[in-house]
Amino acid sequence: MQPIQVIGYPISPYVKKVLAALNLIGVDYELDPLNPFTEKARLTPINAAGQVPVLVYDGKVITESPEICLFLHQHYPDYGLYPSKSDDIYRINKLEAFADSAMMIVFGARLLHQRVIIPTYTHEPPNHDIVHPALQTHGPQICDTLEAIAPPQGFLSPDGLSIADIMIGATLHAGLLAGFCLDENRWPLLSRYIQRILSHRAVAPIIAMEAQYPEIKQARIEFAYPFPSL
C-alpha cells in the first residue's frame, strides 16, 4: 500500500482533527502542508471545492474531515476514534458536529480567520463588528455549554480521547490563538479539559508543529496564548 498522505494547512482545526486521528491510531503518514490561501492552483486539481483536509489512502482520495475520520475508523476500528457503545457513539457524533459547525463559526471563522489569517494573507484589518460579538457573547455562550458537559477527569468517551474531544480542543485552541480568554474561574472544568486534550500524545505534536508557523508565532505573542508550554 502507498503511504497515507494528508494534504492541508495544519493551522486549520479540520486538518488538526485528521492529523490527531492518525496519531491516535498510530499509523505513519506523510503531510503535505498545502496552504489553501497561497496554493489554490495546486489544491483545486486535488479537491475541486478548494478545501482542506484531503486524505489520500492507497490511491483513494477522501475529502471533508468527518468523512475522513469515519473512513479511518472503519479501517482502524479498535483505536477509539468513536466509542464502542452505540449510546456513546450517538453522543460523540453530536458533539463532533457541534464543534465542526457552531464552534468553528465562532472560534474559526470569526476569530482565527479574522484576527490571524486575514491580516497575514490580505494585510487588511479584521472586521471588529464580527470579532467583538464572538469574543464577548458567542464564545462565552459556547463555553458555558461546554462547561456543563466537560468531564472532571479524562475525556468525553469512556474509551478515552475521541474524535469529539479532538475537534472541541482544536476549535477552542483556534479561538485562544486569536485572543479569546478561557477564564479558568468561570469555566474551571472546561479549562482543565482543554489542557488535557491539547497535551495528549495525539494532539500535542500538532500544536508544537503549528507553533513554528510565522503567523502562529506572532499570534501567540500578540494575543498572549495561555498555554505557552504546548
Give the angle 196-9-72 at the CA atoms, nearest 5°.
65
- Map residue 67 onto helix, strand or coil: helix
Residue type (1 letter), 136: Q
Angstrom CA distances, 99 to 14, 60, 175, stand at: 10, 27, 12
Dist CA 181 CA 170 (whole Å) = 15
* Average pLDDT score over residue span 78-87: 86
92 pLDDT more than 80: yes
Over the stretch 175-224, which tens digit does the pLDDT of each residue have? 999 999 999 999 999 999 999 999 999 999 999 999 999 999 999 999 99
228 pLDDT more than 90: no
Where is pLDDT greater, at 223 or 86? Answer: 223
- Average confidence score pLDDT of the chain: 95
pLDDT band at residue 44 under the 50/70/90 scheme? confident
- Phi-psi sector, 26: left (phi>0), alpha (psi -120 to 50), beta: left
Dist CA 19 CA 203 (whole Å) = 8
Where is pLDDT greater, at 65 or 1? Answer: 65
| pTM: predicted TM-score of the whole model, two decimal places | 0.96
1 pLDDT more than 80: no
Dist CA 64 CA 12 (whole Å) = 12
Where is pLDDT greater, at 45 or 106? Answer: 106
User: Can you list the domains of the chain with their CATH numbers?
Assistant: 4-75 (3.40.30.10), 86-222 (1.20.1050.10)
Q: What is the pLDDT of residue 50?
A: 82
